[in-house]
Chain A
């Protein structure tokens, strides 16, 4: 790696960290306002997550007596850093991924495991019974949503491999060749099922209602985060914000990679800006349907119900989606 590449990696990672954190906190604010309005409350101001972060930074950073201090402190750092690193593999609007050609769709599925595992390790390192139960539930939730998530990604990988494109597993390739224009009616239905699957995998990945069993405030008092406070808790919240942007950006790249500039005659810079703004709107829409709307309408699942939903119902749904996409390719 030469100096130019190193500077590119440093600047790119810094820029993605800034974008992921600011956008993640901003969308958390939008989510809280929308949920409040749907419950006929005024709700907090949009900047509330930023205020919360600033407040957490002024709070004591307690390390429990039973904890393994270095693991307890390292887990939030790894969660945030790994979430930021995934941003480098995802196209944002008309901007290609910074690490284009150096990581693909399959890699993103693996990298998504790291922030969740960091939370599990942090919970187990807390030395608290509540956190241990929370960590156990996070493990089970993670195992559960991996099946429908992996099936959806396999469907895309298989379809794009069939098309004979260069680097078919690359998210940049997928974004440049929208799936909807590559399938017939059966494949279209299959893709709709895969979209529903991804919409429902997102709240599980983010630990949002009804899949918030690992935290379960009213039952486990915060579960795997119960012993975290101050700056360590702030880092976990930031990592969840970045992960929310990562997941919705993946859904956008897979299912809605369209840009406005391709329909409007615009010069390069305004086109980038318009596409960037349109990308933020798409993220907001995905976030609304996959997080805000679901969490306002439902109560928390028990951990066995989480497994049922992901392994039995969504697993079957994504498998039908995959089969329809394959059958569609064979009969076209």
Chain B
């Protein structure tokens, strides 16, 4: 098979057009399987209410969940790391420049040694 638009990196390769074509065909297969199933349900009935173990559903707009909650498990597990890292982000340009120069110097030293 010889297909245009293949990107070669010298180590590997990938062809986005070919993947998209395969994805579209796979989507058709998935749609065909889906079409075998039952389509109906009772709209606007109790079965369309969210399952919350019998609890009352909170009023819409009554609560606000910040996006950072998405990563709660990660932030909690890495708390020790973030407790040190967050205070370093002072918001002052001078501090960031010092960090940038420090890391650049370290990379240069490591690069020269290796």
Contact = CB atoms under 8 A, between A and B. Distances in A.
A312 to B, nearest CB: 8
Nearest to B19: A85
B66 to A, nearest CB: 12
Nearest to B36: A57
B75 to A, nearest CB: 9
Nearest to A306: B73
A83 to B, nearest CB: 8
B11 A169 contact: yes
A17 B48 contact: no
Interface residues of A, number: 75
Most chain B CB neighbours (cut-off 10 Å) among A6, A140, A221 = A140
A56 B25 CA distance: 24
A65 B52 contact: no
Contacts, number: 193
Interface in A1-31: 1, 5-6, 8-10, 12-14, 17
B77 A64 contact: no
A107 B19 CA distance: 10
B97 to A, nearest CB: 30
A99 interface: yes
B1 interface: yes
A77 to B, nearest CB: 5
A231 interface: yes
A50 B5 CA distance: 40
A104 B14 contact: yes
B62 to A, nearest CB: 12
Contact of A235 (B19, B33, B38, B41): B33
Given A81-B23, A311-B78, A101 B50 contact: no
Nearest to B81: A311
B26 A80 contact: yes
A77 B24 CA distance: 11
Interface string A289-323: 00000000000000111111001000000000000
A151 interface: no
B40 interface: yes
Given A65-B49, A77-B30, A81-B30, A99 B72 contact: no
A104 B12 contact: yes
A80 B69 contact: no
B87 to A, nearest CB: 21
A31 to B, nearest CB: 22
Contacts of B15: 99, 102-103
A169 B12 contact: yes
B84 interface: no
A107 B12 contact: yes
Interface of B: 1-4, 6, 9, 11-15, 17-19, 21-23, 25-27, 29-31, 33-34, 36-42, 44, 47-53, 58, 65, 69-74, 76-78
Query: Which 9 A-B residue pairings sit nearest by Cβ, starting from the closest?
Result: A231-B37, A104-B12, A169-B12, A303-B73, A307-B77, A81-B26, A84-B26, A140-B73, A57-B37
Given A56-B37, A307-B73, 14 more contacts: A14-B25, A57-B37, A66-B50, A77-B30, A77-B31, A81-B30, A85-B26, A103-B14, A128-B51, A139-B70, A143-B71, A221-B51, A303-B72, A307-B77
